[in-house]
Every structure is written in structure tokens, then in C-alpha cells.
Amino acid sequence: MKALASECATNAKCPQMHVATFFFDARDTSDQKSMLGFMKTILFQLLPICAKTYNHFNNLHDQKIGRDDEDGAIDWHVGDLRDVLLRFCSVNRDVPIYIFIDAVDECGDIEGNSTDARSFADFLQELADTSYDAGSKVNICLSSR
């Protein structure tokens, strides 16, 4: 999957496409095996390319500052980031987006958050439907054992 994503990112035929990747790893940190980690990683890679969604995210960020942890860290929730990602995929119509996701079967339960491969697949279906309905060019490639 890494080779495919790399090849897509360096494709000279479509230099304006954007590629985002996430690789689940059940043996690693919670961010690498959760839907929340997926959302954080994908948005980190995609937000800079869409000013409308970036501004929406910054407004959400500003609202959360000071309301979460005492140390200034923001406690993001899947629902917050899910909405930002769905918005991104509905307003970004100019440039094709390719999202590569490896080892979906390793998406697991983290600290009581029941996220499994099936609910993650349901979210990806919603993401694909939202993108299609908006006329966005979002392509999702995923793998599982």
C-alpha cells in the first residue's frame, strides 16, 4: 500500500492531485489503531489544501481552546473531526483526493471507544456518498487481511 500511495503522489500525469495516507497498527499507540487517530492524521495532511475547510477547522479549534485540558491541550472527539472531514470532502471539488488506508482490520477498541472495522467502513461509505453527492473527486483505497 505504501508503494501504491507513493506512486500516486509522484504521478506526473496529475500533479495537482492530493494524497493522504493512514496505516492502522494494532500493536502501536492508540492514535495508530483508532478512528480518532485516522481523523487527526488525514485532516493534518489535507486541511492545508482547502482554505474554506481550514478556516472552519480553525474556528472549531478556537472554540475549544481553554475548555478542555488545563495544560492547553485540546481533547478532540471523533464527531468533531468527522464533521470537518465530511465538510472538506463536500467543498473540495477542484483537485482529486486519494486516501489510502492500510490494515483496516486493525482498527480497534481504544479506552472504551467502540470503533471496529465495520463502523469504520460505514464511515468511509458515508464519506464516499457525501463526496459523490457534492461532485467532489475523492477516491478511497483500503486494504484489510
Amino acid at 133: D
Confidence tier at 128 by pLDDT (50, 70, 90): very high
The answer to whether residues 127 and 86 touch, using CB atoms and an 8 Å cutoff, is yes
Q: How confident is the model at residue 127 (pLDDT cuts 50, 70, 90)?
A: very high
Confidence band (pLDDT; 50, 70, 90) for 129? very high
Note whether 49 and 92 are within 8 A (CB): yes
| Residue % of the chain over a pLDDT of 70 | 66
* Per-residue pLDDT, 114: 47
Q: What percent of the chain has pLDDT over 90?
A: 13
Judge contact between 86 and 130, C-beta under 8 A: yes
Q: Is 11 left (phi over 0), alpha (psi -120 to 50) or beta?
A: beta
What pLDDT is recorded for position 28?
A: 73
Is residue 76 over pLDDT 90? no
Cell 483537485 belongs to which residue? 95
**Residue-range domain boundaries for the chain:** 2-142
Output the average pLDDT for the chain.
Answer: 77
Q: How many CB atoms lie within 10 A of CB 3?
A: 7
Question: Residue 75's pLDDT band (boundaries 50, 70, 90)?
Answer: confident
Tens digits of residue pLDDT in 22-52: 988 877 777 788 888 898 899 888 887 766 6
Q: Which residue has the higher pLDDT, 94 or 22?
A: 22
Whether the CB-CB separation of 39 and 47 falls below 8 Å is answered with no
| pTM of the predicted model as reported, rounded to 2 decimal places | 0.77
